[in-house]
Amino acid sequence: MTNDMPDASPPSHLIARRIPAVLGTVVVGAALGLAGSYGIGGLKRNALAEAPCASALELSKKIAPLAQGEVAALTIATKPVQMPDLAFVDGEGQAKKLSDWKGRTVLLNLWATWCVPCRKEMPALDSLQGKLGGDKFAVVAVNIDTRDSEKPKAFLRDGNLTRLGNFSDSKAKVFQDLKSIGLALGMPTSVLIDGQGCEIGNIAGPAEWDSEDAIKLITAATAG
């Protein structure tokens, strides 16, 4: 008995055409799957990178209304910025890094004796350190004179600015490091930093740091 039913299998030349098409679909699907995985992974990595500074951004928003009067020039951080671990030395020549103040809110200030606004600002910074300095807050004023290391020491001594540490960087690399992330455009430069080393805000130019306005703002920043 003969089988009169037609053969249901497609011709061999059609099979040959379909195999590459199927394989192509699989390859494209796999590639899209991998791209999706890497894309999600990349987003996760970005989120992790920004996570340490997320609280600093929330704090920036919180204290923004206090940036008025004598500290109205404070530029509030609007994106996560992890500060570089700036390196300098203390008065005894011992190596210091910004991370040595981890856990404390820091007002980082760069100054030089050749900078007139810097010199005028230093007494207020010294007074601020005397009023609020402690285990929660510190003024870290780093001198960047590159020629005569005795000159800033004499300035601090003659001005009786005893509450500020004698920190310095004779190569002024700290200025270049801040400039590379857009936080140093001139002198003086001050950056308010949270306990995790993230920017809260910055000021390009001098401010009355021992004023009532500054005390309120920094107290709020320290309290979180």
Question: For the chain, what are the domain ranges?
Answer: 53-223
Q: Is the pLDDT of residue 39 over 60?
A: no
This prediction has a pTM of 0.78
Top pLDDT among 32 and 106 is at: 106
Buried b (16+ CB within 10 A) or exposed e, 64-74: bebbeebbeeb
pLDDT recorded at residue 50: 58
Which residue is it, tokens 């600002």? 121
**CB atoms inside a 10 Å sphere around CB 184:** 21
Buried b (16+ CB within 10 A) or exposed e, 90-115: eeeeeebebeebeebbbbbbbbbbeb
CATH topology of domain 53-223: Glutaredoxin (3.40.30)
User: What is the tens place of the pLDDT at every residue in 120-158?
Assistant: 999 999 999 999 999 999 999 999 999 998 999 999 999
Top-confidence range, 8-12, 14-18, 71-75: 71-75
SS3 content of the chain, % helix, strand, coil (to 5): 50, 15, 35
- Cα angle at 106 between 105 and 111, to 5 degrees? 170
Half-sphere exposure of 36 (CA within 13 A, CB side): 6
Q: Which of 171, 157, 3, 173 is closest to 84 using CA atoms? A: 173
User: What is the tens place of the pLDDT at every residue in 55-112?
Assistant: 999 999 999 999 999 999 999 999 999 999 999 999 999 999 999 999 999 999 999 9
Mean predicted confidence (pLDDT) in 167-189: 95
Tokens of 27: 């390859």
Half-sphere exposure of 23 (CA within 13 A, CB side): 6
